Amino acid sequence: MKEFVCNKLSQLDKIAETLLEVHNTSRLFAFYGGMGAGKTTFIKVICSKLGVRDVVLSPTFSIINQYTTKESKPIYHFDFYRIKNIKEVYDIGYEDYFYSDNYCFIEWPEMITELLPEDTINVYIKEESKNKRIISF
């Protein structure tokens, strides 16, 4: 497991590059961290590295956002914080996304642990202080 100390936003670029290099064949990433830890912020940086030109926002209320890369490839961004039961995840057709071979970034994966494929890359963001995060994967 790799671990990075992040004291400023500008450091996220290198951490995102490393994540994508180390897991260059992976497409499913689960982001663990408390409220306000920086999951969406880190996903924004990763999407930028992947060539997304859309505005990347947390899909807290929509559950899923779709972005498009400059090569017209879709990227899916999930937020399962507000799901009430696992049936809701089946209803959105999660398998079509998770097994699509497109990037999927999942916030609050602990709500759907039993549905995550074995090859999911777990990314942990721990808030040490207001400006310090420990990111590991």
Tell me, what DSSP letter sits at residue 131?
A: T
Q: What are 12-50's pLDDT values in tens digits? A: 999 999 999 999 999 999 999 999 999 999 999 999 999
57 CB-side CA count, 13 A: 7
pLDDT of residue 61 exceeding 90, the answer is no
| Confidence category of residue 60, pLDDT binned at 50, 70, 90 | confident
CA 105 to chain centre: 3
Closest CA to 124 of 10, 7, 6: 6
pLDDT at residue 93, rounded to an integer: 97
Percentage with pLDDT > 90 across the chain? 96
Which domains are assigned to the chain?
A: 3-136 (3.40.50.300)
The residue with tokens 């999660």 is: 94
**pTM of the entire predicted model:** 0.96
Q: Please state, in angstroms and as integers, the Cα–Cα distance from residue 102 to each residue in 47, 67, 78, 89, following that order.
A: 12, 11, 13, 18
Q: Which long-range contacts (CB under 8 A, 24 or more apart) does 73-78 make?
A: 73/102, 74/100, 74/102, 75/47, 75/50, 75/102, 75/103, 75/104, 75/105, 76/100, 76/102, 76/103, 76/104, 76/105, 77/43, 77/47, 77/104, 77/105, 77/107, 78/104, 78/105, 78/106, 78/107
The two tokens of residue 105 are 């970034």
